[in-house]
Amino acid sequence: MSDTPLNILAVVGSMNRKSVTRVVMNHAAQKLVDVGCAVDILDFEKEPLALFNPDTAYDSQVFSTLKPRVEKADVILLGTPDYHGSISSATKNFLDHFWKEFAGKLFVTIVASHEKGLTVTDQLRTVARQCYAWTLPYGLSFQDNHDVKDGVIVSDSFKARLEMMIRDTRVYGQLLAKQRQADLRGTEPGFLAKHRG
């Protein structure tokens, strides 16, 4: 690890008070803290975000408080349930509020799904690409009552996949964060050139 910790915004995209997504995201957040990352958990059940309206959203107090947290993050860790083969409305609403703030950052995805969450993972990769962000080359998915029971992760295979994701988030998050900062400070052409101050 470098002297500066990797900043991760962990977005819990479920409004369910007994959400298994929240269980897994909190577990992942603690594991990332254990390996030296700085993790900021954004949980919409505790911090409601109004439905995105381009005419009013950017003037709200909630947005002005949230924007610096998104800008500070090197990695966006997104946890969402699979609703009808798509991301949750809370996750989509969060993503709708931002665009250029994601450029050059790493997206990491965790999906609660009974059908492997493949379409949800693909949709999150599409959002990342449209926002000029990177993604891990895989997404994690898990099943309620199989991988997580009574608020506890019980599947050894899922725990192993989570450990792989924690490692890859830290390693590739650091590499991309370092390159992003160099590109923002530099003068060479590149997709981050338009974001230079």
Q: Residue 52 pLDDT more than 80?
A: yes
**Alpha helices (runs of H) in 88-135, residue ranges in sequence order:** 89-96, 118-130
Give just the sign of the alpha carbon dihedral 143, 144, 148, 152. positive
Annotate 147-187 with DSSP letters as a single string: TEETTEE--HHHHHHHHHHHHHHHHHHHHHHHHHHHHHH--
Length, in residues, of the chain: 197
Each residue of 17-26: pLDDT tens digit? Answer: 999 999 999 9
Predicted confidence at residue 2, as pLDDT, reads: 56
pLDDT of residue 12: 98
State mean pLDDT over 90-119: 96
Residues 135-157: pLDDT tens digits?
A: 999 999 999 989 999 999 999 99
What's the mean per-residue pLDDT of the chain? 96
pLDDT (mean) for 26-52: 97
What Rg do the C-alpha atoms of the chain give, in angstroms?
16
CATH 1.10.10.10 fits 7-195, yes or no: no
pTM of the model: 0.96
Mean pLDDT, residues 49-68 taken together = 96
Instruction: Spell out the domain ranges in the chain.
Output: 7-195
Amino acid 115: pLDDT? 87
